[in-house]
Structure 1
C-alpha cells in the first residue's frame, strides 16, 4: 500500500545500512554489530536533552555467537 511522505531528513547511513523509500518486499542487510551504551546514549532529534546522575552499562555476554549471517547470494 503506497504511503504519502512529507519532508524527512537522513542524517547518516552506515556502510551496512539501508534507506528505501517506496514499496518493498524484503530488505535484508548483511551486517551485524553489538554496541554497548549507557543511559542518555543514541538520542535522536535536533536538540536532545538528558539528565543522568549515574550511568552504568552491563557488558557481560556469555554467548559465543549472537547473529550468524548466512547469505545465498
Structure 2
C-alpha cells in the first residue's frame, strides 16, 4: 500500500538506516543501552532546558532487554 511522506529534516547522520514508506519487516541489527540525565537528548533548532538537581538510575535488574539471536 503506498504511503505519503511529508516534509523531513535531517540535521546529521551518524550511521544507521532510514526507511521511508511501507515496510513489511524491520528488525534491529545491533542494540545498545545509554543512560543520560534530564534534558540530555533534546534535539531541535532552539533548545532551552532548565533542570534542577537530578540523578540517573543506571540499575537494570533484567539481564536481557532486546535479543539479537536469529536476527541476521
Deviations 1:11-70 (A, max 9, x none): 34444x320112110111211111101111111211121110112101112333332211
| TM-score, normalisation: structure 2 | 0.76
Query: 1:7 matched to which residue of 2?
Result: 7
Consecutive unaligned residues in structure 2, runs of 5 or more: none
Higher-RCO chain (CA-CA 8 Å, sequence separation at least 6): 2
Work out whether residues 29 and 71 of structure 2, in 8 Å CA contact, stay in contact via their aligned partners in 1: no
Aligned length: 72
Give the structure-1-normalised TM-score: 0.75
Equivalents in 2 of 1:43, 1:4: separation in Å? 27
In structure 2, what is the Cα distance between the partners aligned to 1:19 and 1:6? Answer: 15
Residue segments in structure 1 that go unaligned for 5+ positions in a row: none
Q: Which runs of 4+ in 1 moved over 4 A?
A: none
